[in-house]
Amino acid sequence: MDTSLDSQITLAISAHAKWKSRLKTAIASGNCDIDVATASRDNVCDFGRWLHSGVSLAQKQAPQYGACVELHARFHRAAAEVLKLAIAGKKEDASRLLTAVDGEFSKSSVALTQEMMAWKRAA
């Protein structure tokens, strides 16, 4: 696995963008290939594993590192909330959480992407 900051952030942005599609599918079908508990954990996805154990000491000094850790955790908690409703068959509630511009999923997703891009530019 390429552990460079640039590569990891590029991959993470792509992977996290796919979450919206994955959650839309879960809302439509009522099931998902990942359970709620796993979705809520920020150290299970490739980016999370790298963020928690693959980032160099020098990269951890960047102010964006701490922000990315927090925002990544928020993103996964928000995704898990949507998934929990989707699996429970609460399609309207799940859709509302997923698509609300001022909702936690959208806010954390946008903020995480912005912070990752800022970290990439600063490196």
Q: What is the pLDDT of residues 79-103, one digit of tens each?
A: 999 999 999 999 999 999 999 999 9
Classified by CATH at the fold level, domain 5-122 comes out as Four Helix Bundle (Hemerythrin (Met), subunit A) (1.20.120)
pLDDT of 80: 98
Confidence bin at 2 (pLDDT 50/70/90): low
Q: Are 64 and 115 in contact (CB under 8 A)?
A: yes
Check residues 2 and 39 and name the one with the higher pLDDT: 39
Q: Measuring CA to CA, how many Å separate 15 from each of 10, 75, 92?
A: 9, 12, 25
